[in-house]
């Protein structure tokens, strides 16, 4: 298992990872900075394929040509300097694998230390995301920072919209959902 | 209070019509062979630093997936397929009252070697004027595609074109070219050259 050591950088909580998380297998990361959007600033896509070596992080102004296996999307910078997540998605093919607690570490570390973006999970998170968030905090020995949650927790949605945010769209042969047996 | 994601879902459901679909057949003669030849082809890269010999550095692919469009492969059947797609989109435009003089269509494509049968698929974009489709290159004897709950039998060379964001299931498909057709206003942020203009014929 990948070792996690809590650290502080500029008084903010981060973690040192012993390696790119083994739990994410052969995953690489595509960070798309969005300009001229009134709602989103950044889309971080995670791919489990051989297009790049595991642990590769691509910074780009473009949308990748394949639909991500997981992604997180961030809103515009707030007055407090924080970019809040506005959406998190995992392909139905890869759900229930415990990816997100590791993805959260990568997101927070890389976005701050490489791209100077201080991020936090969505303030409007649902119960699933809330539980993953708490697990990540426990692993990183960090204190639960309760940003106001203004609603979605009470209205959990089963599926996120498939497109990231018009006109930023992944056009591909993409998996929609698992076919129910019987 | 529900937020934007929820509203987007409502918009998505309201806008989807997903009733335009067409099928035709283009014999995929030598298409898989040509695709594999291009994908496997490597150039050797050397660097002459000093002495009497250039040192081998690495092998590089001649194809960049970020900008590669399979409809640009030099193959007559692929050219015919693109022509057929163009005809179908023109017909769909008439049926959906889309102004083809003001709408600038673009097309992108991928080579797919995985069609999972225990998951359903859809594609980017919402209904017309965004379209999707598959040109099936290798199938077994009982292959089918199910689009919005209607099952269609397909074989090698079957070309299916339908409105984007349709719920799609596959059975017995081994490989094919998937493609997306969308308009200029909807492809901002896509990698350069990945999409090429689709001229309606």
pLDDT at B141 over 60: yes
pLDDT for residue B12 is more than 70:
no
Beta bridge partners, A87, equal A73
**A151 at B interface, C-beta within 8 A:** yes
Residue B66 CA: distances (Å) to CA of A44, B8, B170, B178, B190: 17, 28, 26, 15, 9
Give pLDDT, residue B192: 94
- Are B180 and A39 inside 8 Å of each other by CB? no
Q: Is the pLDDT of residue A154 over 60?
A: no
Flag whether residue B2 sits within 8 Å of chain A, measured between CB atoms. Answer: yes
Give me the residues paired with residue B25 across strands.
B158
Q: What's the pLDDT tens digit per position in A34-88?
A: 988 999 999 999 999 999 999 999 999 999 999 999 999 999 999 999 999 988 8
What rounded mean pLDDT belongs to chain A?
A: 86
Predicted pLDDT at B125: 78
Q: Answer for the pair B96, B20: CB distance below 8 angstroms, yes or no.
A: yes
Tokens of A75: 């809103």
Residues in chain B closer than 8 A to A67 (CB atoms): 124
ipTM exceeds 0.90: no
pLDDT of residue A46: 97
Which of A53, A56, A171, A175 is the best residue to mutate to test the B interface, defined by the most B CB atoms within 10 Å of its own CB?
A: A171
Share of chain A above pLDDT 90, in %: 48
Q: What is the pLDDT of residues A92-132, one digit of tens each?
A: 999 989 999 899 999 999 999 999 999 988 877 777 788 88
Give the phi and the psi of residue B124 in degrees, each rounded to 5.
Answer: -70, 155
| Mean pLDDT value across residues A134-149 | 69
Length of chain A: 182
The pLDDT of residue A143 is 63
CA of B116 to nearest chain A CA: how many angstroms apart?
A: 9
Mean pLDDT of chain B: 89
Residue B7 has pLDDT above 60, yes or no: no
Domains, chain B, with CATH or none = 17-197 (2.60.120)
DSSP secondary structure letter of residue B29: T
Q: How confident is the model at residue B1 (pLDDT cuts 50, 70, 90)?
A: very low
With a CB-CB cutoff of 8 Å, which residues 66-125 of chain A face chain B?
66-67, 86-87, 92-93, 124
On whether any CB of chain B is under 8 Å from the CB of A174, the answer is yes
Question: What are the pLDDT digits (tens) for B55-109?
Answer: 889 898 988 999 999 999 999 999 999 999 999 999 999 999 999 999 999 999 9
Question: Does the pLDDT at position B54 exceed 80?
Answer: no
Q: Does A8 touch chain B (CB under 8 A)?
A: no
Q: What does the pLDDT read at residue B126?
A: 77
User: Within chain B, where are the H helices?
Assistant: 4-15, 31-40, 76-95
Q: What does residue B163 show for φ and ψ, rounded to 5 degrees?
A: -65, 145
The residues in A 10-39 lying below 8 A from B, measured between CB atoms, are: 32, 34, 39
Residue A149's pLDDT band, with cuts at 50, 70 and 90, is: low
pLDDT of residue B4 exceeding 80 = no
Q: Using CB atoms within 10 A of its CB, is residue A148 exposed (0-12), middle (13-18) or buried (19+)?
A: exposed
Residue among B76, B50, B179, B176 at smallest CA distance from B123? B179
CB within 8 Å: A64 and B110: no
For residue A180, what pLDDT band results from cuts at 50, 70 and 90? confident
Per-residue pLDDT at B9 exceeds 80: no
- From B56-65, B121-130, B190-199, the region with the lowest mean pLDDT: B121-130
| A87 to B178: CB separation less than 8 angstroms, yes or no | no
What pLDDT was estimated at residue A147? 59
DSSP for B95-145, please give it.
HTT--TTT--EEEEEEEE----SSEEEE-SS-STT-EEEEEEEEEEEEEEE
Reported as a single tens digit per residue, the pLDDT across A2-39 is 899 988 899 888 899 999 999 998 899 999 999 889 99
Structure confidence at residue B2 (pLDDT)? 45
Q: How far is A115 from chain B (nearest CA, A)?
A: 19
Chain A contact for B139 (CB, 8 A cutoff): no
pTM, two decimal places: 0.86
Is B193 near chain A, with CB under 8 Å? no
């Amino acid at each position: 298992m990948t070792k996690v050591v809590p650290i502080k950088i500029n008084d903010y909580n981060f973690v040192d990872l012993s390696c790119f998380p083994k739990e994410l297998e052969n995953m690489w990361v595509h960070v798309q900075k969005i300009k001229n959007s009134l709602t989103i600033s950044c889309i971080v896509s995670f791919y489990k394929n051989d297009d790049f070596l595991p642990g590769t992080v691509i910074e780009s102004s473009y949308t990748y040509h394949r639909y991500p296996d997981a992604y997180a999307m961030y809103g515009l910078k707030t007055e407090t300097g924080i970019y809040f997540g506005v959406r998190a998605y995992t392909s139905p093919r890869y759900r229930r694998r415990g990816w997100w607690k590791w993805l959260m570490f990568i997101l927070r570390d890389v976005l701050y230390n490489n791209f100077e973006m201080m991020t936090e999970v969505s303030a409007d998170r649902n119960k699933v995301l809330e539980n993953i968030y708490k697990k990540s905090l426990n692993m990183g020995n960090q204190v639960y920072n309760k940003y106001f949650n203004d609603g979605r927790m009470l209205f959990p949605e089963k599926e996120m919209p498939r497109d990231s945010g018009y006109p930023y769209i992944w056009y591909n042969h993409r998996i929609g959902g698992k076919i129910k047996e019987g | 209070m529900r937020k934007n994601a929820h509203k987007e879902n409502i918009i998505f459901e309201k806008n989807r019509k997903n009733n335009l679909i067409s099928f035709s057949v283009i014999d995929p003669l030598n298409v898989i062979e040509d695709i594999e030849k291009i994908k496997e082809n490597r150039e050797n890269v050397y660097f002459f630093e000093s002495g009497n010999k250039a040192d081998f550095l690495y092998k590089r692919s001649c194809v960049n997936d970020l900008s590669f469009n399979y409809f640009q492969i030099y193959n007559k059947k692929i050219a015919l397929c693109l022509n057929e797609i163009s005809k179908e989109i023109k017909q769909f435009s008439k049926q959906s009252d889309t102004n083809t003089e003001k709408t600038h269509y673009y097309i992108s494509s991928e080579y797919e070697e995985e069609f999972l049968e225990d998951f359903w698929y859809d594609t980017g974009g919402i209904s017309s004027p965004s379209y999707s489709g598959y040109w099936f290159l290798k199938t077994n004897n009982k292959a089918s595609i199910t689009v919005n709950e209607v099952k269609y039998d397909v074989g090698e060379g079957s070309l299916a074109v339908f409105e984007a964001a349709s719920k799609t299931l596959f059975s017995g498909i081994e490989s094919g070219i998937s493609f997306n057709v969308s308009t200029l206003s909807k492809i901002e942020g896509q990698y350069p050259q990945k999409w090429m203009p689709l001229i309606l014929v």
